[in-house]
Structure 1
Amino acid sequence: MEKTIAQLHTHLSEVPQAFRALPVGQVTKKAAPEKWSPLEILGHLCDSATNNLGRFIRAQQEQPYRVISYQQNEWVSLQAYQDRPAEEILQLWVGLNQSILRVMSSMPPANGQNACELPDGTTVTLEWLMSDYVEHLAHHLNQIFPKD
C-alpha cells in the first residue's frame, strides 16, 4: 500500500499546477467528437473518485464486497463537465482524492486483504482495488499530459 499511497500523493502534488498550466483552448479541445476533452477526462476522474471512495469505505465494512460498475460516458455527459469552469472540476478532483488518500492511509492493514468481487465475478483484494484505482488515474492523466 505504501507505493500506491505515494503515487496518489505525487499526483495530488503535481496535477493541479500542471492542469492550470494547460492553454485554455487545449482544456476543452476534443481529438474527435466522440472523445473526451482534457476537462472531461478530469471530470471522469472525479466520477471515478466518487465511485471508488464509496467502494473503499464499504469494502472495509461489507464482506465480501461486490463492486458495481457505472455508466462512465453517461456520468460525464450528465455532469456536463465540458461546460463547467476548469478550476471547479480541478478542485473537485483534488478534494475527492485527498479523501481517498486519507481512507487509504488510515486503513488497518488487515482490511487491505478484504475480498472484493468485480462485476465479471473475479475476486480481488481491497488493496488490489486501491492500486488499480491509482493505475487507472495514471492512465488518464497520461492522456491529459502525454509524455513525448
Structure 2
Amino acid sequence: MILQNSILRFEEILAENADYFPTIDVVVLEAKIPGKWSKKEILGHLVDSAIHNLVRFTEINYVEKPYRHRPYNQIDLVNLNQYQTMDIHDLTELWLLINKQIVRLMKAVDEKTLNYKIVLSDESIIDLRFLMTDYVDHLEHHIRQLRS
C-alpha cells in the first residue's frame, strides 16, 4: 500500500510539472547563488538521480544478492552534463521520459522483489520498497525547490 501511494504521488508530480518547468522564466531557471545549484541544475540533478535509480531498480533483479548500492558524485555529474546550458524543453523531456519508465517498473514489481535487500555504503540494510518510496520522497523535495 505504501508503494501504491508513492506511485500515485509520483504520477501526480510528473503530470503537474512536465508542462510547468518550461514556463519558468529563463532568468529564474538559470539564476545562480554561489555554492548552490540553479533551478535548471536541480532539474538536471533529478535526471541524474532518475538514471541511477532506473539502473538500481532494474539491476537488483539479476545481480548477486544482497544488492550493493553504489553512490554517485552528484556535483560532478551536474557539471559534466552541463544542465545549466541545456534547453529547458529538452531537459524537461529527458526528466519526464526516464521517470515514466521508472513508474512502469514500480507498477510491475512484485512483492518478492520489493523485499530484496540492499546494502548501503555505510553497510546499513534497506529493501527495494524503501529505495523506491525514498526516490519519490527525494523527487518531491526537489520539486518543492523548483516551484519555490
TM-score grouping bracket, smaller chain normalisation: over 0.9
- Number of equivalenced pairs: 145
d(CA) in 2 for partners of 1:2, 1:51: 22
Structure 1 residue ranges (4+ consecutive) displaced by more than 2 angstroms after TM superposition: none
| TM-score of the two chains, using structure 2 as the length reference | 0.94
- Cα RMSD, aligned residues only: 0.9
* 2:42 is aligned with 1:45: no
* 2:147 is aligned with 1:145: yes
* Aligned positions of 1:76-95 closer than 5 A: 76-95=78-97
- Structure 2: unaligned runs, 5 residues or longer: none
d(CA) in 2 for partners of 1:118, 1:56: 14
Cα offsets for 1:5-37 (capped at 9, x unmatched):
11111111011122122112111112x122111
Q: Residue 107 of structure 2 aligns with which residue?
A: 105
d(CA) in 1 for partners of 2:55, 2:44: 17
Paired AA for residue 75 in structure 2 = N
Cα offsets for 1:60-89 (capped at 9, x unmatched):
223110000000000000000001111111
SS in 2 for 1:7: helix
| TM-score of the two chains, using structure 1 as the length reference | 0.94
Cα offsets for 1:96-134 (capped at 9, x unmatched):
000100110111122101101111111001000001111
